[in-house]
Amino acid sequence: MAHAFGKAGKENLPACRGRHPHLDLFEADCNEEARAVVLGATNSWFPIRLSALAIPQTKDPLGQLVQDGWEFFEELDSEAEVSVTVKTLKKTGALPGIDKYPPAAIWAAIEAHRSGKGQEVVMEADIKGPKWDVLTEADPPTDYPHFMSKKVGTPPGFGAFIHRVLLLERLREVNALLGFTRVEAPEESADPDERPPMAGLSRSRPDWVPANQVHGEGIFIQFDEQALQSWESQADVQKVDRKLQGGLRGMAQLQASEPE
């Protein structure tokens, strides 16, 4: 095994065949050097995930309810069927709040959702923006099927540093698997260009990926921006920042100079 690692490995390992076992194919041409990895090593598989919180759109609460309960509405063909569906939902408690709206408004929201009207295309780099916008509103959403929040007081002694604290008593998170890397862990960045090359999950571009959802709760803490700006302008903080940035650049240069 010693001859498969390090400098000896470069001399003894066979050339790369461009094989992708999970796709059952070989690349036509591969000029990369093979690298031995111990079976079960933590660097043999780094998943690249995309995570999103199910936070309601407060500008269109009815549209959000229809979107959350689309499984109940997608087969409806007329406004007359809406009343029956809403009565059933009210009895089962499956979609709280939907019974507050008249059937005509619900049917209009169904048709709008079906046609795609008002649905924004959010790219990966923009996925955190809508979360921030909702959680920092003057009156954040308080009671939705998958989201419930409550304002609480700032802990004593932290009023100068913390602007707001929210208890997220009901929360849903969706995690999607986009691909994976080997040897190098993906950077914590929304920009795909800053990551190591990602191995795909399929031979061609997929139109769906594996995903799961988890339900739980959390805490949202919004720091006071002026306090943060004052803190980061301190000389000692800037000195530490320069050291950290220098170390990061050195690590990147070292990785770039290492043979593959």
pLDDT of residue 193: 64
Q: How is residue 126 annotated by DSSP?
A: G
pLDDT band at 214 (very low <50, low <70, confident <90, very high): very high
The number of CA neighbours under 13 Å toward the Cβ of 63 is 14
pLDDT of residue 104: 93
Angle at 75 between CA 70 and CA 79, to 5 degrees: 90
- 213: tokens are 């959802």
CB-count exposure of residue 95 (10 Å: 0-12, 13-18, 19+): buried
Domain ranges of the chain: 1-36, 58-125
Choice between 183 and 225, residue whose per-residue pLDDT is larger: 225
pTM, rounded to two decimals: 0.65
pLDDT in tens, 225-256: 999 999 999 999 999 999 999 988 887 777 66
Instruction: Indicate if the pLDDT at residue 63 is higher than 60.
Output: yes
Share of the chain above pLDDT 90, in %: 30
Q: How is residue 186 annotated by DSSP?
A: P
CA distance 205 to 164: 42
CA distance 69 to 232: 45
CA distances from 27 to 197, 203, 249 (A): 15, 11, 33
